[in-house]
Amino acid sequence: MPAVAVTLNTNDFGDVRTLASLAQVKPAKLVMDATATSDNANLVVVSGTQLVETSTFLHGASLSDFAIVCGNLPGVTLWAPVQDECSLGTLADNIDQTLFMDDVFINSLEFSYTTGANATENYGAETDQKMWLLNAGRFVNFETFTLASGDVSNGYVTMDAYADDVTIATLANGNDAFLRKDANGEPAVTWYDTSANQMNNVAVEIISIDTPNATEFRYNDANGRLHFPTGTAIVAGDRLDVVYAGSAYSTTANQKYFAILDSADRPDIIGAIRQGQIEIFIVDPSETYVNGWSDAAAWRLTGCTMTCDLTREPLTELGHLGPYDRPLTLPIPITVTVDTTAGNLENWSKIAGKLAEYTADTLTSINLADLIGKEDLLLVAKVYAQTDEEAGGTSTNRTLATNSPLIGQSYLNNGVKGTYAAAGETEYALKTVVVEHLKITDEAYTLDLGTNATQTFGFRSTNDLYAIKGDIAITNITGDFKIRRNG
């Protein structure tokens, strides 16, 4: 059985879209361009021992999203177009070849924030097949349709492949180049059934006349109509995703792979994040933070790394060459490492649950038993668009600089969407990552001749990592409050 290892290394650019897409957050909750509500939010703040939902809903993704198989496709689809050498440095979509992989399962992720380097968001993945598309099939197109009532009554949608004179290729094995596959390995169209909240790959066939079929989609390449299966309960609001290899890009399918991101709902002014845009907090949920996030800020940090091992077990059966599934092994272990330049003992006091005594100058000692005794710490990482110098401060003191490019951009604060209107307004985080239930596993103090003393803290947790689009108040994660997946 072929084994294909995939590594995705990215600069953190202040958004959770990559994580949410790889976790297969459902389409209704993946949009993230409006105020978060119970219907479109993927995360929710809960309260009390019975975990009662509050009215605070959040866009984002969690580790538990990677474990959900009901209603999801078997893995994600990845492709990478390679620009023609003569077009390098341009925005042209002259493609020489495209690498394509389907059924890709994420098996690890890492968030890394360090001084002197860009913040990174890295993923490991696995699959059992890959292919290169070239010549008449080198352009991978993605067309998506949210169906209106007229589409349902007609029984078809018209694809842009026809309008833009794109010929859908035939692969070397003789199959039509619809690149997603159904359970039997046949070319397929993805149908998002909103009633059942399920994604299904349904077989598709190319024909030259309008003759719908009861169990499969049919694409008439003579008029561009993609006919729905007559025996399938497709309704208005459902979505169709069509991934195919063709002779060119269609108008809607061309995602402008080499163009600059431009959106009021995405941090389009940022290519990478550096140290002045990152704040790390060590939060004791039982503490009262009079000055909010400022009291929880971790001091003199030089690095923070969060690693999650998403172990997959390939399930095989007679009659199929490849695995039919790769379920996630639970619980999901989370490892957090925090590096600091040694200074005062404030970080120690936070980890030991003795911040109030430390602040009041009544604390006389901290020992390893104090550190081990805390089992409910939280680590929070916030990513901002401006550096602290541009913002004129840190944490809640961050404001928009004069003539800031953020003016006119959207933000989310506690799941509520707003728009920056003028300089001097409070700047909210682009992204907030929360790891709950941290337990310290190791601590090291290093002092060498000629260098500053350093401290390293290691923590572990399971399952509870949440990446939130936008900012969140500290009162939404302390006391009885927690973040959970909004099922």
**pLDDT tens, 196-234?**
989 999 999 999 999 999 999 999 999 999 999 999 999
For residue 106, the tally of other CB atoms under 10 A from its CB is: 23
Q: What is the pLDDT of residue 253?
A: 58
The pLDDT, as a whole number, for residue 264 is: 65
Q: How far apart are the two ends of the chain, measured CA to CA in Å?
A: 35
> 253 in a domain, yes or no?
no
Residue 47 domain-assigned (yes or no): yes
Q: Pairing state of beta strands 198-207 and 431-446? A: unpaired
**pLDDT by residue (tens digit) across 380-391?**
999 999 999 999
Average pLDDT over residues 427-445: 95
Structure tokens at 89: 């440095």
* Helix then strand then coil, % of the chain, to nearest 5: 15, 40, 45
Residue spans of alpha helices (H) in 50-133: none
The number of folded domains in the chain is 1
Report yes or no on 222 lying in a domain.
no
Reference 219, options 296, 314, 327, 145; nearest CA is 145
pLDDT at 402: 92
Tokens for 359, please give them. Answer: 């602040």
CA 171/CA 388 separation, integer angstroms: 53
Residues 130-144, mean pLDDT to the nearest whole number: 94
Instruction: Give residue-wise pLDDT tens across range 45-91.
Output: 999 888 899 999 999 999 999 999 888 998 999 999 999 999 888 88
152 within domain boundaries: no
Residue 333 lies in a domain: yes
Q: How many CA atoms lie within 13 A of 463 on its CB side?
A: 10
CA distance 187 to 242: 10
The reply to whether omega before 229 is within 30° of 0 (cis) is no
Q: Does residue 155 lie within any of the structural domains?
A: no
State the pTM of this model.
Answer: 0.92
Which of the four pLDDT bands, split at 50, 70 and 90, describes residue 24?
very high
Residue 473 lies in a domain: yes
Average pLDDT over residues 241-267: 78
Mean pLDDT of 351-375: 89
Domain range spanning residue 313? 1-132+260-487
Sorting pLDDT into bands at 50, 70 and 90, what band is 287? confident
What is the arithmetic mean of pLDDT over 238-257?
85
269 falls in which pLDDT band (50, 70, 90)?
A: confident
Taking residue 456's Cβ as centre, other Cβ atoms within 10 Å add up to: 15
Question: Which pLDDT belongs to residue 30?
Answer: 92
Give the per-residue pLDDT at 76.
95
Give yes or no for a contact between 55 and 38, defined as CB atoms under 8 angstroms apart.
no
Tokens of 352: 């030991």
SS3 of residue 49 by DSSP: coil
- Report yes or no on 465 lying in a domain: yes
Note the pLDDT of residue 261: 65
Q: What is the mean pLDDT of the chain?
A: 92
In whole angstroms, give the CA distance from residue 414 to residue 418.
11
| pLDDT value at residue 245 | 96
Look at 154 and 261; give whichever has higher pLDDT: 154
